[in-house]
């Protein structure tokens, strides 16, 4: 497996004994015999590449961020609802966001806020943000595919050496916060290639491609990266692995060790001022959530610029309630860094001319109770949630939907997760009214349910 960013258990959980040397070369994150890069390359050779390169960066905030503290403040509500923060004006008349997002406030014309997302399942996991589905919906045989799996199947690879579906999702103590989804009924060949260590992976790859001791921030050390790659080449040659794999897998090996994927992951190739703009990583895991690897936003931009179609990542931990009473103290810690990272990403996309091609969505599995609990925090609130979207050629600089005066329910323009996904597919150039993928029984499946349309205000 290619473990570039590291993570808990990334060394002790690796195991390759007993796996055939002639098995396909695989990359980390391919649970239970998932994607082989050789298979991927065969698909590319057979299907060709897409005629255009649209992409999505899916930023998942594990735990359910507070809609009423982020983007939908209620300054006129009673204190036990409005909380400790005040709204500030943005450069879009009538749009206000939390005072802890001054950078984003200056560029609100470059993103939109959806304040009225409904239909959250209420489970503490990222499944709905990865698939647009809930666990209550009967899945087809094989399960519901993740967003990137549909896109991988329908559009294929955009650029040689860059798989279309990538994951920067860290394995988390609360397991379901770290799952990027699977290929579902479409098949393991379209599952996400994981670029961070997957805790608890005990079987799979025939070759461990491990860039040891290489968390993301140290990829800026080009000499360390070179030594790690050289060490991997020597190790695999000594094991006699290369003699036992076919030409597609030889090409796959070359891709991983000398071509686009490694290039995109090497932040030493980025302008240092751009890297600095994103802020500093915090590699510590946030309890049972993900680390605050804010520069993964930049890595995601580099990956889509290199040719990836869908990149998903999880960032920090947003479940602040219970006995710790941490909602407002943690907000003061988290919001400014998110403000810095998101504003840097949005600025980056515009400066590089990617804002019409790359969509960004930032969200969690549900919102938070309008009424503050006895611990000065907010509990789970599936009734309504929110998202920030940017890029994708959308008509940005607006607010979609609204909640009632206490932020309890969608008042105007309720938006479903399926509509959010339909919008992302539309931005990728996929017509959700006509595109289908056939399962093993010969039954065609649309990417979203019948009648679901992209959000008209945005597209």
pLDDT > 60? residue 193: yes
pLDDT > 70? residue 244: no
pLDDT > 70? residue 25: no
pLDDT > 60? residue 204: no
Query: What pLDDT score was predicted for residue 44?
Result: 44
Q: Please report which residue ranges of 266-367 form alpha helices under DSSP H.
A: 272-277, 296-306, 327-351
Among 123-127, 185-189, 209-213, 407-411, the range scoring the smallest mean pLDDT is 209-213
> What does the DSSP 8-state code read for residue 179?
-
> Which domains occur in the chain, in start order?
2-446 (3.40.720.10)
pLDDT > 60? residue 33: no
> What does the DSSP 8-state code read for residue 411?
E
Our CA dihedral for 38, 241, 266, 391, rounded to 10 degrees, sits at: 20
Reference 260, options 320, 216, 304; nearest CA is: 304
pLDDT digits (tens, 9 = 90+) for 366-382: 999 999 999 999 999 99
Reference 171, options 29, 326, 351; nearest CA is: 29
pLDDT > 90? residue 216: no
Among 111-120, 260-269, 435-444, the range scoring the smallest mean pLDDT is 260-269
Q: What is the mean pLDDT of residues 236-253?
A: 48
Q: Quick one: pLDDT band at residue 16, thresholds 50, 70, 90?
A: very low
Integer Cα distance of 56 and 332 in angstroms:
28
Query: What pLDDT score was predicted for residue 159?
Result: 84
Residue 410, SS3? strand
Q: What is the mean pLDDT of residues 311-338?
A: 93
Q: What is the mean pLDDT of residues 112-124?
A: 96
Given a contact cutoff of 8 angstroms between Cβ atoms, the answer to whether 370 and 405 are in contact is no
Given a contact cutoff of 8 angstroms between Cβ atoms, the answer to whether 68 and 370 are in contact is yes
**Dihedrals phi, psi of 111, to nearest 5 degrees:** -145, 170
Given a contact cutoff of 8 angstroms between Cβ atoms, the answer to whether 416 and 435 are in contact is no
**Residues with Cβ within 8 Å of residue 201, at least 6 apart in sequence:** 1, 13, 14, 28, 31
**Residues with Cβ within 8 Å of residue 386, at least 6 apart in sequence:** 65, 67, 70, 71, 72, 113, 114, 115, 116, 117, 363, 367
Q: Quick one: pLDDT band at residue 235, thresholds 50, 70, 90?
A: low
pLDDT digits (tens, 9 = 90+) for 415-428: 999 999 999 999 99
Q: Average model confidence (pLDDT) for the chain?
A: 82
Integer Cα distance of 143 and 186 in angstroms:
9
In terms of phi and psi (left: phi > 0; alpha: psi -120 to 50; beta: otherwise), the region of 403 is beta
- Report how far apart, in Å, the C-alpha atoms of 145 and of each of 75, 180, 226 are: 41, 10, 36
């Amino acid at each position: 497996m290619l473990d570039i960013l590291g993570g808990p258990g990334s060394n002790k959980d690796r195991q390759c004994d007993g796996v055939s040397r002639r098995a396909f070369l695989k990359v980390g994150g391919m649970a239970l015999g998932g994607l082989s890069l050789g298979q991927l390359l065969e698909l590319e050779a057979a299907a060709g590449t897409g005629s255009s390169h649209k992409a999505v960066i899916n930023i998942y905030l594990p735990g359910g961020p507070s809609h009423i503290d982020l983007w939908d403040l209620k300054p006129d509500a009673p204190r036990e609802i409005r909380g400790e923060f005040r709204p500030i004006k943005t450069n879009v008349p009538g749009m206000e966001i939390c005072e802890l997002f001054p950078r984003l406030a200056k560029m609100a014309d470059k993103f939109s806020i959806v304040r009225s997302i409904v239909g959250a399942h209420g489970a503490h996991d990222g499944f709905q943000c990865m698939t647009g589905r809930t666990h209550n919906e009967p899945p087809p045989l094989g399960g519901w595919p993740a967003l990137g799996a549909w896109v991988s199947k329908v559009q294929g690879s955009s650029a040689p050496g860059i798989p279309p579906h990538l994951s920067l999702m860290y394995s988390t103590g609360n397991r379901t916060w770290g799952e990027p989804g699977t290929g579902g009924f479409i098949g393991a060949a379209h599952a996400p290639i994981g670029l961070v260590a997957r805790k608890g992976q005990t079987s799979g790859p025939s070759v461990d491609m491990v860039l040891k001791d290489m968390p993301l921030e140290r990829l800026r050390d080009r000499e360390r990266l070179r030594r790690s790659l050289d060490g991997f080449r020597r190790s695999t040659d000594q094991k006699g692995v290369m003699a036992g794999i076919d030409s597609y897998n030889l090409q796959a090996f070359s891709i991983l060790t000398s071509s686009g994927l490694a290039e995109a992951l090497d932040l030493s190739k980025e302008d240092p001022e751009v890297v600095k703009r994103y802020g500093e990583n915090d590699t510590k895991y946030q309890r049972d959530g993900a680390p605050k690897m804010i520069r993964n936003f930049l890595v995601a931009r580099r990956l889509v610029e290199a040719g990836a179609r869908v990149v998903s990542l999880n960032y920090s931990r947003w479940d602040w309630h219970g006995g710790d009473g941490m909602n407002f103290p943690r907000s003061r810690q988290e919001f400014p860094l998110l403000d810095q990272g998101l504003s840097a990403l949005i600025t980056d996309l515009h400066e590089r001319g990617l804002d019409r091609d790359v969509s960004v969505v930032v969200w969690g599995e549900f919102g938070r109770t309008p009424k503050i609990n006895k611990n000065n925090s907010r509990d789970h609130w599936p009734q309504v949630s929110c998202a920030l979207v940017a890029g994708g050629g959308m008509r940005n600089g607006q607010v979609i939907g609204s909640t009632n005066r206490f932020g309890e329910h969608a008042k105007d323009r309720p938006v479903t997760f399926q509509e959010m996904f339909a919008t992302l597919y539309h931005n990728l150039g996929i017509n959700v009214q006509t595109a289908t993928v056939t399962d093993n029984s010969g039954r065609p499946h649309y990417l979203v349910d019948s009648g679901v349309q992209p959000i008209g205000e945005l597209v």
